[in-house]
Amino acid sequence: MNVVLIDSGGANIGSVRYALERLGVEAPLTADADLIRGADRVILPGVGAAGAAMAMLRDRGLVEVIRGLQQPLLGICLGMQLLFEASEEGGVPCLGLLPGKVTRMRGGEGIRIPHMGWNALTPLAPHPLLDGIDAGAQAYFVHGYCVPVTTDTLATCTHGQTFAAVVGRGNRFGAQFHPERSAGTGARLLRNFLSERLA
């Protein structure tokens, strides 16, 4: 299995690599368009601001490369948000691979934003990416923006509001939580992403 991590400047890239290594997969970090196009699986990690991440992808000539990928692609945290059309965070246009707009999370009494910590997942329908991940499985989140629930939502989470925790359309997938920090739940999602069932 040839897996690559797109170098988008995210601070979680090292921990994603270690999580894959625990599954027996060596995934180079790269901004090389040919390596990305030639991979069996592509992961777009990200931590930080949407505007800065999109600017880095543009500067490296990777926006159209990512848009043209046919193999399974997984966006993690900010990487998932970048798959959508736009983000309220700075009003920045994103990759447009999935329909919808990333919105600022709503706070409230007892609801702290950013959303940080463990929370339960609610799968909406069976899907190979969620095999072995049951309702109530715990995942680790760190984010202040989220994607509203749409027809592409595979699993939700609730923190003051219900939002998309896992999304998928065709071969394009995203996890708002950090699988590399989510113990067994995260390892299972990554293992499912690497499965031939998603090819």
**Residues with active-site annotation:** 77, 178, 180
- Residue 145's nearest CA partner among 105, 117, 111, 176 is 105
Residue 74 vs residues 1, 108, 111, 160: alpha-carbon distances, Å: 15, 31, 29, 26
- Residue 105's nearest CA partner among 97, 94, 93, 113 is 113
Can you tell me the distance from the alpha carbon of 48 to that of 169, in angstroms, rounded to the nearest whole number? 24
Q: Rounded to 5 degrees, what are φ and ψ at 172?
A: -110, 120
